Amino acid sequence: MKVRAGFVHSMGLMLIGGLVISGCAAVAEQNDSAKNAAKDAATTRAAFAMMQASFKARGQASVDRLNQDETQQLCSQYQDNPPKEIREKIEALNQKLTLFPADGVLLGDWKEGEKIAQSGVGKQFTDNPENAAGGNCYACHQLTKAEVSYGNIGPSLYNFGKVRAYAPEIAKYAYGKIYNAEAYSACSNMPRFGHSNILTPQQIKHVVALLMDPESPVNK
Ligand code: HEC
């Protein structure tokens, strides 16, 4: 059993994002009027200024982490529940941002993948940016029977390859999903591991092997 740490910084920002929105929720009820829209914008600006004033850059945790990209802005604006056309826009935008390995190889070594899934190290100011970050997959997913400590924000991935099929299109989906979850499910709570440079393409291949190799404990 391990204590799950990591992504505390990004999770903290997600929560703060939520607070900004709930601060706007009261006025959002009669959101039709331009007056309320202006109020919303002013509240968001004030909250952002407050965050900018209170966050201090430390090590690799620079203040530019407060800047939202278009996907994050849209998800904040729609409280992670955008209407269909915005959802499709977010997914299409992120499909374009999802890069697959040029060599076409999607599977690495599941044993390395298990280490990455177990590790919650990386991206915090106390972490050495020279060292590879972990994927912290167990923080949100069950993956193997052997590991009894896992979170359940995400679905169980136990038997992923066995149930979905050991097929190239499933490996491609797994790689793309881990690289950029927003390309498949707008406003997902899953970090965009490749897109956000948390994991390298090689690390993602190892994790895909963890999900897809018939010999992996995920499929045993
Ligand atoms: C902060 C929580 C979180 C972390 C960390 C996380 N995920 Fe997820 N993941 C989710 C959530 C929530 C979903 C379901 C929503 C969605 O599909 O985006 C999901 C969905 C998935 C799916 C799609 C499942 C399906 O049935 O199609 C895969 C595959 C996956 N995650 C793999 C991983 C791997 C591998 C890691 C580690 C590199 C990881 N996740 C880390 C939250 C997380």
Q: What is the DSSP string of 122-134?
A: -SSTTS-TTSPP-
**Segment 17-44 mean pLDDT:** 67
| Token pair recorded at residue 163 | 């149930």
For 77, phi then psi, to 5°, come to -60, -40
User: Mean per-residue pLDDT for 145-164?
Assistant: 98
pLDDT band at 86 (very low <50, low <70, confident <90, very high): very high
Atom of ligand 1 nearest to the CA of 139: 5
C-alpha span between 94 and 208 (Å, rounded): 19
pLDDT at 10: 41
* Distance separating alpha carbons of residues 101 and 204, to the nearest angstrom: 10
Does the Cβ of 161 fall within 6 Å of ligand 1? no
CA of 53 from ligand 1 middle (Å) equals 33
Quickly state the pLDDT bin for 12 (edges 50, 70, 90).
very low
CA angle 152, 10, 68 (to 5 degrees): 120
* Res. 7 pLDDT band, cuts 50 70 90: very low
Residue 86 corresponds to which tokens in the numbers above? Answer: 């915005």
Identify which has the larger pLDDT, 52 or 7.
Answer: 52
Least confident of 17-21, 65-69, 109-113, 150-154: 17-21
Neighbours of 48 (CB within 10 A): 15
Q: Which of 17-26, 124-133, 194-203 has the lowest mean pLDDT?
A: 17-26
Lowest mean per-residue pLDDT among 56-65, 178-187, 209-218: 56-65
Quote the pLDDT of residue 30. 56
Q: Angle 69-75-77 (CA atoms, 0-180°, nearest 5)? A: 100
Question: Which of 165, 163, 140, 166 is closest to 153 using CA atoms?
Answer: 140
CB-count exposure of residue 175 (10 Å: 0-12, 13-18, 19+) = buried
Average pLDDT in the chain: 88
DSSP label of 155: P
pLDDT at 16: 42
Round to whole Å and give the CA distance between 94 and 185. Answer: 10
- Angle of helix 70-77 relative to helix 8-28, nearest 10 degrees, comes to 40
Q: Is the CB of 136 under 6 A from ligand 1?
A: yes
> Which residue from 216, 217, 181, 183 is spatially nearest to 198, judged by alpha carbons?
181
Of all protein residues, the one whose alpha carbon is nearest to atom 14 of ligand 1 is 154
Q: How far apart are CA 209 and CA 79, in angstroms?
A: 34
Q: Indicate if ligand 1 lies below 6 Å from the C-beta of 193.
A: yes
Q: Is the CB of 207 under 6 A from ligand 1?
A: yes
Position of tokens 């709570």? 189
Residue 94, pLDDT above cutoff 80:
yes
